[in-house]
Structure 1
Amino acid sequence: MTDAAMTQDAVVPQAGQMRAADGTPLKKSLARALRRQKLRALALVAPLLIFVLVTFIAPIADMLFRSVENQIVADTLPRTVVALKGWDPSSGEAPDEPVFQALATDFQIAAEQKNHTKLGSRLNYENPGISSLFRKTGRGADDIGDTFMDRFTDLDEAWKEPGTWAALFGSDEWLADQAAWTEAGDRKASQPGFKLRDGVADALPITTGVYRTFARDVQSDGRKSPADTKPWPVLFSALAQDLSATPPDALTAIEGADTALLQNAAGAVGGFEPYLYKEAFLDIDKDWGDVDKWETIKAYSPPYTPGYFLNAVDLEQAPEGIQARPAQQQIYIKLFVRTLWMSLMITFCCLLLGYPVAWLLANLRASTANVLMILVLLPFWTSLLVRTSAWKVLLQQQGVINDILVWLGIVDNAGRLVMINNQFGTIVAMTHILLPFMILPLYSVMKTIPPTYLRAAKSLGATPWTAFWRVYFPQSVPGIGAGSILCFILAIGYYITPELVGGTNGVFISNRIAYHISTSLNWGLAAALGSILLGAVLLLYYVYDKIVGIDNVKLG
């Protein structure tokens, strides 16, 4: 039987169903082939897709997350945040003793882990002065724990021993594993993870949380054992809080531990001299009595906050609601407006200068056009910093342009023009830098317009201007759109050139973003400013698409 006959027999309906040559249903065979083609196509584009995700999508997603992320307050002061829920800022008074008691535990832990300065820097963005308050308190917070340590060690010297705490809070299994690790002496081997003793978390909740943090912090470097490391002073103040609130019979619920030492301490805690946590913090710094400091901590205690976006539009989150920032601090709206206006002005200047050049390149003979094209591309072969610095030399009051104007008598030596460290200098320098990005799209589109169209229009009686405006210009609109979008998007994100030639009146919002990323380290505000800038660009892009049509944008 011939191959054609076999193929024909293979697709003949058998039992009412079309089948392929291998006997499988034709529909299933086609679906399998189509799936293989899709997988093959996906494998071809996968490297590029992964590259785009890693270098473009992921940074944007991270920026959007950073603009609302605010977990540092709740992570650093978890007990204080919970205690503050019952405090009413409108009372006009600082929180009561329970809040300061929770703050004492949180702050001592933060000081041990060196996190209090990070939190102070974060809150200082919202309330200047908190950073110094946190640094000063970090230096004196251990005095609270030291007071209770003296009280406990006066009862029994065993409280000074790291092994006492390890035996009380660590499980027997962990203690055995930890002892074996210590005896082996191999500090490169991983330590056994800390395991809590059953029942201790219910009997001593505050101290358990502190000791777990202590054990993990000690084990983080892989060289020390919690059973051999001096306990943090905060453990003593936390233990005093727990024993004051826990009935003595609850201590018997701690499984497998010798609680005799603990029960003796529980009986003695009631005789301790009352400790005033609020007074202790006020002795460290009287600013802990300021309501506005506590308002800031409470306002920014949620894990996510609109505060960065509010600051980015010159607003702030106050106890009575969202309100405008003081007039002397309102700079970002002005910078956004200036950035958009100057970017549009730079784009217009590029179009005004670039359109005739592109027309010449497209209509001159090839040899002349090639020479001009080299001149257009020449700026790409020169460093951006060199070009910007050259404009500083040209535009400054003692620069080349002013010297020529004085020599020609156009301006007086005492009245030299101020052309730098202002908006004019930024527009001139950036127009020169972005001009090739306007010329090249225009040229690529104009090169495709047949010159016969203009000759035909003139032969039908149109004037040169009418022929250009009615015939040539509409066909060059796609190049205008492409060049304008390219120049505008590049201009709106520039920060090197405005920084060098813009002074205080010619800088863009991108300069503030760069400042917050590299100098003030306020990455949340920088992310919020960047997100708003991204949103503004996308909005303008959408408006442009509705008015002009993005399909009309071509690069040639």
Structure 2
Amino acid sequence: MTDQTAGTAPAGLSPDEARRADAAHTGPMLAADGTPLKKSLARALRRQKLRALALIAPLLIFVLVTFVVPIGDMLLRSVQNGIVADTLPETVETLSDWDHDGTALPGDDVWTAFYIDMWFAVERKEHTRLGTRLNYELTGMSSMFRKTGRQVDRFDTDVYGEQFVALDPSWGQPQSWAAMLDGPAADALPLTARTWERWKDFNAEEGDKVLEEDIPDFLFTALYHDLTHGAEVEGVSDRLSAAKAAAAEFEPVDLSAQFADADEDLGNIDVWKTLQLYSPRVTSGYFANSVDMQLTPDGIEARPENQQIYGILFKRTLFMSLVITGSCILLAYPVAWLLSNLPMRTANLLMILVLLPFWTSLLVRTSAWKVMLQQQGVINDVLVWLGLVADDARLTMINNQFGTIVAMTHILLPFMILPMYSVMSTIPPSYLRAAKSLGATNWTAFWRVYFPQSVPGIGAGSILVFILAIGYYITPEIVGGNTGTFISNRIAYHISSSLNWGLAAALGTILLAVVLVLYWAYDKIVGIDNVKLG
């Protein structure tokens, strides 16, 4: 290093003058390369941090991609509901002003918007997805949208086009529509202008040119609706003024009757209440359903008692997971004690037997329990042979909670043994001998000396087993029947069978919240710092 403070004070100066002169020549300390020492140190620390970050970057990216992103996507799906607004934009906008508390169906403006939206939805094949989504909330919506979609293109709305073209042939030319709606007429005809833009976008998606296509019936329907619902076209265009005057005498088309002919369910006011209720892009309906509630126009209400299943499943999942964890503790503790106190050669042999289930397929182990526990299975046959059970009164040990508890205890037992063994193997045997030499009985020495030191292993194994048990679904699905399944089985059903991913995401979010709350409670009561793996 170079020190600019080095030097000798000029002769004849007092000590104070020498210090001031020395300070006047003092500058920042420099490194060997001439840069300020402080800057050089900061740069070296920054390089060390970047190297450390580069080492953990692959793991960090892996966690983000496989853990954080899926959880974030699950949280988003549990409240996401944009399909109604995206598929029926005009209907959602006009339906927002409809009074759902009344007994009257929506007015002509809603039926017109619904007709236009359904045409585009059918062409894009989006109406079936919308029906599937709304069918979760009101049974029959899926078939209603499919039936209506097959009839929309056959409605009698072509009479509007015939009457406009008869009034002025230029109405049949797309060039005249483009010229009209690119000018001030777009403000006077809002529904027609928006529909024209959607028509252009649709043709662009299909690779067609809008000016080469015939004017569709729904555009004439939108134009008729605007002209007969107070469109101010005076001074905008003589052709529009003439069309407005003539439209009052046109033969109208009752769209509500057309839709009723397509499917009579569209005359059910509950259908329109459901559409209005689930038109927002964010909904609490999934979470309401996951706690046996339902979203209604009047707020969240409890479902009928015979439809409340998720509360039962959550309680059953927590209860059985705790029972399985307790069973694993009772069975694993003596095994772990033996492994930690036997000679190394014998302990290694027994450890192979503990690890042996990991080398066998989960489905094979579960299926084996199904064979053993069934009424004509091995266990019942042995009990009958011993005379403990009558042949006509064989025990029912499968397709219930007992079967799930037995099978899952066997599957998860190694996850309890290993943490216990790793902690017990670090407890010196001399502690027990010392306690006995001081007069303690075998039980007192175990309970007052040995057991407290093994508690961290019990805590680690309990957390591991409980979290694994609460999310299991393969084993309960095979051996649980109707009374031994978990909430995870219902989540799997909604993901793979009913395709109600929003409800599955809501159930998964609640399950995640329950686990986090229990983890927090465990930390407060026992303390995570007391959990050790050896």
**C-alpha distance in 1, partners of 2:483/2:57?**
46
Larger Rg: 2
Residues 494 and 125 of structure 1: CA distance in aligned 2, closer, same or farther (over 3 Å): same
Which of 348, 359, 372 in structure 1 is aligned with 2:326? 348
Q: Residue 178 of structure 1 aligns with which residue?
A: none
- Change in CA separation of 1:170 and 1:17 when aligned onto 2, cut-off 3 Å: farther
1:468–1:224 Cα change, 3 Å:
same
Q: Distance in 1 between matches of 2:241 and 2:410?
A: 81
1:246 equivalent among 208, 212, 231: 231
Question: Could you say if the C-alpha distance between residues 203 and 500 of structure 1 is closer, same or farther in structure 2, counting changes exceeding 3 Å?
Answer: same
**Corresponding residue number in structure 1 for 2:160:** 148
CA distance 1:249–1:450, change in 2 (3 Å): same
Instruction: Name the amino acid aligned to 1:9.
Output: D
Determine the structure 1 residue equivalent to 2:199.
Answer: 214
Q: For 2:119, give the aligned amino acid.
A: Q
Q: Specify which of 115, 122, 125 is matched with residue 133 of structure 2.
A: 122
Distance 1:167 1:451, change over 3 A: farther
The Cα of 1:532 is off from its aligned counterpart by 0.1
Q: Are positions 1:169 and 2:178 aligned together?
A: yes
CA distance in 2 between partners of 1:170 and 1:388 (Å): 72
Query: Which of 257, 260, 264 does residue 282 from structure 1 map onto?
Result: 260
Superposition deviation, residue 416 in structure 1: 0.4
Aligned residue for 1:79? 90
- 1:202 has 2:175 as partner: no
In structure 2, the partner of 1:461 is 439
- C-alpha deviation, 1:91, in angstroms: 1.7
User: What is the identity, as a one-letter code, of the residue corresponding to 1:391?
Assistant: W
Find 1:416's aligned residue among 394, 411, 416. 394
1:230–1:410 CA distance, 2 compared to 1 (3 A): farther
1:328-339 to 2 correspondence within 5 Å? 328-339=306-317
2:335 to 357, 360, 367: 357
**Alignment-mate amino acid for residue 36 of structure 1:** R
Alignment of 1:288-437 (within 5 A): 288-437=266-415
Q: Quote the Cα distance in structure 2 between the aligned partners of 1:405 and 1:209.
A: 77
Q: How many Å separate the matches in 2 of 1:469 and 1:381?
A: 36
1:309 Cα deviation from its structure 2 partner: 0.3
Alignment CA distance shift 1:29-1:15 (3 Å): same
Counterparts of 2:489 and 2:2, CA distance in 1: 72
Q: Which amino acid aligns with 2:266?
A: W
Give the structure-2-normalised TM-score: 0.90
Q: Which residue of 2 aligns with 1:447?
A: 425
**1:317 aligned counterpart, secondary structure:** strand
Q: Secondary structure at the match of 1:372?
A: helix
Given that 2:424 and 2:454 are in contact with CA atoms closer than 8 Å, whether structure 1 keeps it comes out as: yes
Q: In structure 2, give the amino acid aligned to 1:46.
A: A
Identify if the C-alpha distance between structure 1 residues 354 and 144 changes in structure 2 by more than 3 Å, giving closer, same or farther. farther
Q: 1:217 to 1:508 in 2, by over 3 A?
A: same
Distance 1:250 1:387 in 2: 83
Q: Which amino acid aligns with 1:404?
A: V
- Structure 1 residues 555, 230: closer, same or farther in 2, change over 3 A? farther
1:235 to 200, 219, 222: 219
Map Cα deviations across residues 6-36 of structure 1 (whole Å, 9 max, x no partner).
x252686853533333333332222222222
Aligned-partner SS, 1:87: coil
Equivalent residue, structure 1, for 2:528: 550
Residue 3 of structure 2 aligns to a residue whose secondary structure is helix
Contact 1:316 1:323 in 2 (8 A): yes
| SS of equivalent to 2:101 | helix
Q: Which residue of 2 aligns with 1:138?
A: 149
Moved more, 284-293 or 399-408: 284-293
Q: Is the 8 A contact 2:157 2:253 kept in 1?
A: no
CA–CA distance in structure 1, aligned partners of residues 389 and 396 of structure 2: 12
Q: Which residue of 2 is the match for residue 27 of structure 1?
A: 38
Residue 104 of structure 1, CA deviation: 2.1
Match status 1:271 vs 2:280: no
AA at the equivalent of 1:54:
V
Q: Aligned partners of 2:325 and 2:495: how far apart in 1?
A: 27
Would the aligned equivalents of 1:144 and 1:237 in 2 still touch at CA under 8 Å?
no
| Whole-angstrom CA distance in 2 between matches of 1:336 and 1:220 | 47
Following TM superposition, by how much is the alpha carbon of 1:310 offset from its aligned partner in structure 2, in angstroms? 0.5
Greater shift in the superposed pair: 389-398 or 85-94? 85-94
In the other structure, the counterpart of 2:16 is none
Letter of the structure 1 residue corresponding to residue 203 of structure 2:
V
> Contact (CA 8 Å) 1:120, 1:135: kept in 2 or not?
yes
- How far, CA to CA, are the matches of 1:43 and 1:518 in structure 2? 39
Kindly state the Cα deviation for residue 152 of structure 1 after the two structures are TM-superposed: 4.1
Superposed CA RMSD in Å reads 2.3
Deviates more, 1:319-328 or 1:349-358: 319-328
SS at match of 1:9: coil
- Rate the CA distance shift 1:522–1:456 in 2: closer, same or farther, 3 A: same
Cα deviation, residue 47, structure 1: 1.9
User: 1:200 & 1:19 partners in 2: Cα distance?
Assistant: 75
Q: Work out whether residues 11 and 19 of structure 1, in 8 Å CA contact, stay in contact via their aligned partners in 2.
A: no
**8 Å contact from structure 1 (residues 358, 446) kept in 2:** yes
Write the distance in 1 (CA, Å) between the matches of 2:2 and 2:129: 77
> Quick one: which of 392, 416, 421 aligns to 1:438?
416
- Contact 2:174–2:214 (CA<8 Å) still a contact in 1? no
Q: Is the 8 A contact 1:430 1:497 kept in 2?
A: yes
Total equivalences in the alignment: 515
Task: State the Cα distance separating 1:391 from its structure 2 match.
Answer: 0.7
Residue 11 of structure 2 corresponds to none
Q: Once the 2 structures are TM-superposed, how far is the Cα of residue 202 of structure 1 from its aligned partner?
A: 2.5
1:457 match: secondary structure: helix
Residue in 2 that maps onto 1:102: 113
Q: Deviations over 1:213-246 (max 9, x none)?
A: 333333335x544444555432232232234443
SS of the equivalent of 2:499 reads coil
**Deviation string, structure 1 residues 388-435 (Cα, Å, up to 9, x no partner):** 111110011111111111111110110000000000000011111111
Give the 5 Å matches for 1:490-501: 490-501=468-479
In structure 1, stretches of 5+ residues that fail to align are 1-6, 172-195, 253-258
| Residues 112, 222 of structure 2: 8 Å contact kept | no
SS in 2 for 1:292: helix
Contact between 1:169 and 1:208, CA under 8 Å: does it hold in 2? Answer: no
Which of 18, 21, 24 is the equivalent residue of 2:29? 18
Mapped to 1, the partners of 2:428 and 2:124 lie a distance apart of 72
Asked if the contact 1:397/1:416 (under 8 Å) is kept, the reply is yes
Q: Please report how far the alpha carbon of residue 461 of structure 1 lies from its aligned counterpart in structure 2 after TM superposition.
A: 1.0
Determine if contact 1:69/1:303 at 8 Å carries over to the other structure: yes
Q: Name whichever of 311-320 and 519-528 sits farther off.
A: 311-320
